[in-house]
Chain A
């Protein structure tokens, strides 16, 4: 079985541009969460989706948006990119929202560099 797949793996963008990151969860998982991980820090929660509805939003500006599709894949969009948006963006998949004995399965992430 394929794990959580994210695309692209690496991306370089210029300040002010827009970016779309994509995530396909594990087959059968209906919840997708997005996290931002700045170098040297722990992942920080951005969004959680379950059954195509937003179930949680972290402390990020409105430049960040996301959605989940009927096949449970998800997109994270960031507008008006800033240098500070440079980070590893991680997608986490789970059957339902909430940590439990099975945990979240993370993808390998998209490394975004804003120049």
Chain B
């Protein structure tokens, strides 16, 4: 089985940088994904790390350390529209996603 832990809430101001951490315990780990979900909306894919290191996509970056069973999502130049829930999700040999409980990001003006 797999389990993931991430902080329940994070608050930051507009223009700042925020990091959302995720630790996982898995069997047959393939990679770590990140999804954004606004209230009542569909989860939206942000990034995927299969190998150790940093992946950058615009204002978002994601990092993975397989040896530490740890990853993070870095959001730069925060905007009000970034207020949402962010989920890390592990994929294993069974190829389905196991999601963490989510981090509610609130961006203040």
The chain A residues found within 8 Å of chain B, CB to CB, are 4, 33, 35, 40-45, 48, 55-56, 58, 88, 90, 92, 97-109, 111
Contact = CB atoms under 8 A, between A and B. Distances in A.
B98 A45 contact: yes
Contacts, number: 69
Interface residues of B, number: 25
B42 A107 contact: yes
Contacts of A109: 42
B30 to A, nearest CB: 7
Contact of A44 (B31, B46, B50, B99): B99
Interface residues of chain B: helix, strand, loop or mixed (majority): strand
A101 to B, nearest CB: 5
B91 A43 contact: no
A55 B95 contact: yes
B96 A90 contact: no
Given A42-B87, A98-B30, A98-B91, A90 B42 contact: yes
Given A99-B30, A99-B33, A99-B89, A42 B41 contact: no
Interface in B61-87: 87
B8 to A, nearest CB: 9
A99 B97 CA distance: 7
B91 A99 contact: yes
Interface string B28-44: 00110101000011111
